[in-house]
Structure 1
Amino acid sequence: MAALAKASGALKSVDYEVFGRVQGEGGLRGYTEQEARKLGVVGWVKNTSQGTVTGQVQGPEEKVNEMKSWLSKVGSPSSRIDKTNFSNEKEISKLDFSDFNTRY
């Protein structure tokens, strides 16, 4: 069944929160938007008052998994990612967003 879902291009949604030195000049937010658009996923990103970066990613399962890896290991050149939490990961029938945007 999983192989069939993959072959038919299953859509996935996941929420994330990135901890570390991820805000400020050259922070993670802008680079996240850029990477998401490059991969072709949709959703949003924003800075929190707790000093983390949070958001949601939706798209084809393979691309969402690539974005999860990027959010966990790569980030922006000047960021330091200590950990990334993912939650509400699920298969979806349609995308809730048409683009990837920064929220303020």
Structure 2
Amino acid sequence: MSQVLVSVDYEIFGRVQGVCFRMYTEEKARKVGVVGWIRNSRDGTVTGQVQGPEDKVNEMKQWLAKVGSPSSQIERANFSNEKEIPKLDFTGFITRY
């Protein structure tokens, strides 16, 4: 039985730069078993994409919206472009610069 794969874009608002948010997100993504990327935006947010089995992507979305890194303060999370995908576009989870 194959699981449905999904992809979702995200943008996280609040105190999320300079608080190791990207490093903790990479670590969490590897533990959860999703792939994708994260980067700091010029607007002071972090943006990225998560792909994987739907339940694992949902777990990651919850973490991004509510937990983050220990020093972060998440004000809100926007998720967009959520869709089913035939295969993963990435082999791991990376920080983009």
TM over 0.5: yes
- Give the fraction of aligned pairs with identical amino acids, expressed as a percent: 71
- TM-fit CA distance, 1:8: 2.9
Unaligned 5+ runs, structure 2: none
Partner of 1:87: 80
- TM-fit CA distance, 1:85: 0.1
Unaligned 5+ runs, structure 1: 1-6
- TM-fit CA distance, 1:23: 0.4
Larger Rg: 1
- Greater helix percent: which structure? 1
CA-based RMSD of the aligned residues comes to 0.8
20, 24, 38: which one aligns with 2:14: 20
> What TM-score does the superposition give when structure 2 sets the normalisation length?
0.97
**What is the distance in 2 between the residues matched to 1:100 and 1:22?**
18
* TM superposition outliers: structure 1 runs of 4+ over 2 Å: none
**What is the distance in 2 between the residues matched to 1:98 and 1:35?**
15
**What is the distance in 1 between the residues matched to 2:23 and 2:41?**
14
- TM-fit CA distance, 1:28: 1.0
